[in-house]
Chain A
Amino acid sequence: MEELKQKLKVQIIEALNLQDTRPEDIDDNAPLFGEGLGLDSIDSLELMVLLERQYQIKVEDPREGRKILQSVQSMAEFIQSKQQPA
């Protein structure tokens, strides 16, 4: 899980071109949108593309996307739940 979160942070920074942000600047539970990293709805679409390209997970519904993309923690949990089907 820790490894996955670390990897995600690097991927997010790269995908969204967050030039002045380092992985350690992103708190696992900090909101990605609004207050936290200051991301917007276009970023959320880009993060869904990241999930699809890097993890082969397709998020169809933008509303569902919002929940998954709340934080690095929620993204990682979602990826893990998809990778290890119960």
Chain B
Amino acid sequence: MKGKCYIQGLAAITPQHTFEGDLSQPMVVTRGNMLSCVEPDYRSFIAPNSLRRMTRVLRMGLTASLKCLQDSGIAIPGAIVTGTGKGSLQDTERFIKEIRDYEERALNPTPFIQSTYNAVNGLIALQQKCTRYNNTFVHRGFSFEHALLDSMLLLHEGTSDVLAGAFDEITPEHFFIKGRIGHWKKETVSNDALYEHVSPGTISGEGAVFFLLAPTATAQSYAQIGGLEMLYKPSPEKLKTALPQFLQQHGLQAADIDLVLSGANADSNHAHYYQVLNDCTQCPQLPFKHLSGDYETAGAFALWLAAQMLKQQQIPSQWFPMLQQQPARLRNILIYNHFFGEQHTFMLVQAV
């Protein structure tokens, strides 16, 4: 997808101290394979009467979106587009249990309403009185990426600005369930030592990350989203030709990429895909999933990192102990991420 797309505001609730946008915070280290978000005080964003019914991911999603709007100085965006792999797990789990426990009688509608995947979108629209375009993508590792593509289409079609974001949560029950099909490591690891444990599975995570996107750059722009490409279950050959092609389409050569943010997650089942980065780029590669854990919309966190690094021209070294030295300059950051080998994404993020 071509066309101009600038990040004018952002906010992230993640397992790190990201909410205030301060990149000098120490790394949060979690022992155990399930990373949980550092949650802000929601009461400064959501009225008590609204907050009382909301479950965790709704609070996270709504608050991250409101903080993002605050950051961008825009109250009513031209569109709201989100991605989520799992929606509100807590509500889905609660409703399915209540159906059983109360034998289908006398059920509270709230968990059903909130389990709907577009519940967060509805809440944002409601709180901001935004009556414009509103859409939600729910496709694993393409959830956030299609929300981004939709946003870029909207800007191309003339929409003034778009609030685009992603949110996912993990619950102990869902962690157990996905563990049954080998998503997580059998051995307990600490996230700061993730990459020392290359074995089947990875560690789980969660997050709510939003961006305000606009078609023109201003002094407050964080970065430009220069390119986005998605590949569904690509063959190794396809992947190998797709990356150089992607760079070429955007007028870049391998040497132009200053940094790669890679979705590498120490999962030996799917690690081989990341080899393509060694073949096609020459710059430092930094993995980011020790910070966020892995989940469907982790790509949104990678984009947040890239945008922050480009704006501040600095890589937060306490979050990336594997970094040997700060790059001389940060103009072009390539993100390559995939979700358990199925949905692969390249994103090109550029300094403004």
Q: Name A residues whose Cβ lies closer than 8 Å to a Cβ of B.
A: 16-20, 38, 42, 45-46, 49, 52-53, 58
Contact = CB atoms under 8 A, between A and B. Distances in A.
Contacts of A49: 106-108
The number of chain B residues touching the other chain, given as a range, is 10 to 19
B75 interface: no
B48 A20 contact: yes
B108 A19 contact: no
Interface in B85-111: 102, 105-110
B113 interface: yes
Main secondary structure of the interface of B (DSSP, over half): loop
Contacts, number: 26
Contacts of B52: 16-19
A19 B48 contact: yes
A46 B106 contact: no
Nearest to B54: A17
Contacts of B105: 52
Interface of B: 48-49, 52-53, 102, 105-110, 113
Contacts of B53: 16-17, 42
A18 B47 CA distance: 12
Contacts of B102: 53
A52 B106 contact: yes
A20 B47 CA distance: 12
26 contacts: A16-B52, A16-B53, A17-B52, A17-B53, A18-B52, A19-B48, A19-B52, A20-B48, A38-B49, A42-B53, A42-B109, A42-B110, A42-B113, A45-B108, A45-B109, A46-B108, A46-B109, A46-B110, A49-B106, A49-B107, A49-B108, A52-B105, A52-B106, A53-B102, A53-B106, A58-B106
A54 B105 CA distance: 13
Given A38-B49, A46-B108, A49-B106, 11 more contacts: A16-B53, A17-B52, A17-B53, A18-B52, A42-B109, A45-B109, A46-B110, A49-B107, A49-B108, A52-B105, A52-B106
